[in-house]
C-alpha cells in the first residue's frame, strides 16, 4: 500500500465500524512487520536496507521522526525489488525524492521509505533531455542551460528531485514541469515497467495522476527549444534574484504551505493563498520555532528546533485566520507523511 498526502492509514480509518476493523488489522499487520527477522527484510527489500533511519535530515523543514525501514533505490531493479518485497511482507511504503515538499510526523513513518535515487542526465537528439527521477531538479536546469536549451528556466530555485517535481507538477514564474514532459518511465504498483506520454499524467495545478496512482517515476524525457545560452543564464539569474527578494531562501522551509485557490476572475485564474494569508495578518506568527516568514505569508520556516507538530499547529492557525476573514478554506500543498 502506498500512503500519499493525508492518506495515512490511521487518519483514513475512523469513519465507520468497517474502518475500525481495518485499523485493528493494520495494527496487527504492523506488529507482524516488526517481528520479521532482519535477514528476511534484507532478502526481500534489498541489501542496503536501513532500520530506524532519521528522516529529519532528508527533509527541507529538517523535522520529523525515523522511518522503521529505509532504502535508497538507485536503479529501477532496486525499486521493483523494494516495492514487490514490501507488498509481499505487508509493509506500507512511501516514496521520497528531495524531501522538499514533505511534513513528516514527529513519530516518523511505521513502514518503508523508498528514496528514489535513480540518477542520470542525457541529451537525446538536439532538443530533448532524459533525466533520472532522482536527479536534482537544479542539475537538470543547469544541464539544459549548458546545452543552450530553453524552457526550464522557470524551475530555477525549486528544490527537490525531477520525480518529485513531476509528481506535484511543480511550477513558478508562469511555467510548470508538466508543460515540457514528453515521456515518463514508470513502475506500477505491481512492479511492472511502462512508458507513458504526458496525457496519461493529467497534469493540473500542483497535481498529476501520479499523486493518486501509486506509480513510481524512474525517468523522464523533456522537450525543450534551442535557445541562446547567455539569454538562458540571464533569465535564470533574474529568477534566482526574484526568489531571494520574495522568499526566505536561506531558511528551512518546504516552499508554500497552501495551494492557490482556483478563481476565474483573478489573473492566471488563481487567488494567491499568500495574498489572503498576508491580509489575514499571519506574517511573524509562531508556534515554537515554526514561524510564518515575514517575506512570504504562505511559507513556514523552521528557525531552530521546530517540530512537525509545531508546523502543523501553525498551519492550522493560518488556515483558521483565512477562514474567519474570507470564508475560504485553504488546502495544503505540502504532503504529510505519518500520523498527525
- List residues binding ligand FAD (CB under 6 A): 4, 60, 95-102, 116, 133, 158-161, 163-165, 167-168, 170-172, 210, 216-217, 249, 253-255, 335
Is residue 172 within 8 Å of 144, Cβ to Cβ?
no
CB of 98 to ligand FAD, least distance (A): 3
Q: Give the nearer residue to ligand FAD in terms of CB position, either 84 or 320.
A: 84
Q: Give the nearer residue to ligand FAD in terms of CB position, either 70 or 127.
A: 70
Q: Give the nearer residue to ligand FAD in terms of CB position, either 127 or 172.
A: 172
CB of 22 to ligand FAD, least distance (A): 22
* Full DSSP string of 207-238: B-THHHH--EEEEEEEE-EE--HHHHHHHHHH
CB of 337 to ligand FAD, least distance (A): 8
Q: Give the nearer residue to ligand FAD in terms of CB position, either 243 or 320.
A: 243
Q: Give the nearer residue to ligand FAD in terms of CB position, either 160 or 274.
A: 160
Closest residue (Cβ) to ligand FAD? 164
CB of 193 to ligand FAD, least distance (A): 13
Torsion of CA 239, 240, 246, 250, to 10 degrees: 160
Count of other CB atoms within 10 angstroms of residue 169: 21
What's 280's DSSP letter? T
Return d(Cα 129, Cα 339) in angstroms, integer. 38
Q: Which long-range contacts (CB under 8 A, 24 or more apart) does 313-320 make?
A: 313/287, 314/285, 314/286, 314/287, 314/290, 315/257, 315/258, 317/282, 317/285, 317/287, 318/257, 318/258, 318/277, 318/280, 318/282, 318/285, 318/292, 319/258
Q: Give the nearer residue to ligand FAD in terms of CB position, either 168 or 227.
A: 168
Phi, psi (deg, nearest 5) at residue 149: -110, 130
CB of 218 to ligand FAD, least distance (A): 7
CB of 67 to ligand FAD, least distance (A): 13
CB of 167 to ligand FAD, least distance (A): 4
> Is the sign of the CA dihedral 248, 168, 154, 279 positive or negative?
negative
Q: Give the nearer residue to ligand FAD in terms of CB position, either 186 or 280.
A: 186
Q: Give the nearer residue to ligand FAD in terms of CB position, either 148 or 211.
A: 211
Return the closest-CA partner of residue 108 out of 26, 8, 38, 212. Answer: 8
Residues 97, 100, 103: CA angle, nearest 5 degrees: 105
CB of 164 to ligand FAD, least distance (A): 2
Amino acid at each position: 500500500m502506498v500512503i500519499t498526502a493525508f492518506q495515512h492509514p490511521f487518519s483514513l480509518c475512523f469513519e465507520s465500524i468497517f474502518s475500525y476493523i481495518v485499523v485493528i488489522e493494520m495494527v496487527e499487520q504492523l506488529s507482524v512487520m516488526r517481528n520479521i527477522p532482519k535477514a528476511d527484510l534484507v532478502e526481500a527489500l534489498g541489501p542496503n536496507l536501513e532500520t530506524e533511519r532519521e528522516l529529519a535530515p532528508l527533509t527541507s523543514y529538517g523535522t520529523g521522526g525515523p522511518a522503521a525501514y529505509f532504502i535508497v533505490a538507485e536503479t529501477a531493479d532496486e525499486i521493483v525489488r523494494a516495492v514487490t518485497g514490501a507488498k509481499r511482507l505487508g509493509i506500507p511504503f512511501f516514496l521520497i525524492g528531495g524531501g522538499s515538499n514533505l511534513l513528516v510526523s514527529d513519530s516518523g513513518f511505521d513502514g518503508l521509505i523508498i528514496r528514489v535515487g535513480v540518477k542520470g542526465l542525457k541529451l537525446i537528439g538536439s532538443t530533448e533531455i532524459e533525466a533520472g527521477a532522482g536527479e536534482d531538479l537544479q542539475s537538470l536546469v543547469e544541464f539544459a542551460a549548458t546545452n543552450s536549451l530553453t524552457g526550464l528556466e522557470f524551475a530555477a530555485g525549486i528544490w527537490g528531485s525531477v520525480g518529485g517535481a513531476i509528481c506535484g507538477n511543480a511550477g513558478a514564474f508562469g511555467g510548470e514541469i508538466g508543460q515540457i514532459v514528453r515521456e515518463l518511465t514508470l513502475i506500477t504498483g505491481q512492479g511492472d515497467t511502462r512508458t507513458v506520454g504526458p496525457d496519461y499524467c493529467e497534469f493540473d495545478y500542483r497535481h498529476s495522476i501520479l499523486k493518486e496512482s501509486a506509480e513510481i517515476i524512474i525517468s523522464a524525457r523533456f522537450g525543450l527549444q534551442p535557445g541562446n545560452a547567455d539569454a538562458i543564464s540571464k533569465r535564470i539569474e533574474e529568477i534566482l534574484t526574484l526568489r531571494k527578494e520574495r522568499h526566505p531562501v536561506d531558511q528551512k522551509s518546504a516552499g508554500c504551505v497552501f495551494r492557490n485557490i482556483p478563481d476565474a476572475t483573478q489573473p492566471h485564474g488563481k487567488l494567491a493563498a499568500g495574498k489572503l494569508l498576508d491580509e489575514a495578518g499571519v506574517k511573524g506568527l509562531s508556534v515554537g520555532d515554526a514561524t510564518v516568514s515575514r517575506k512570504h505569508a504562505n511559507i513556514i520556516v523552521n528557525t531552530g528546533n521546530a517540530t512537525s507538530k509545531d508546523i502543523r499547529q501553525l498551519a492550522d492557525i493560518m488556515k483558521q485566520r483565512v477562514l474567519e476573514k474570507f470564508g475560504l478554506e485553504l488546502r495544503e500543498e505540502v504532503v504529510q507523511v505519518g500520523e498527525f
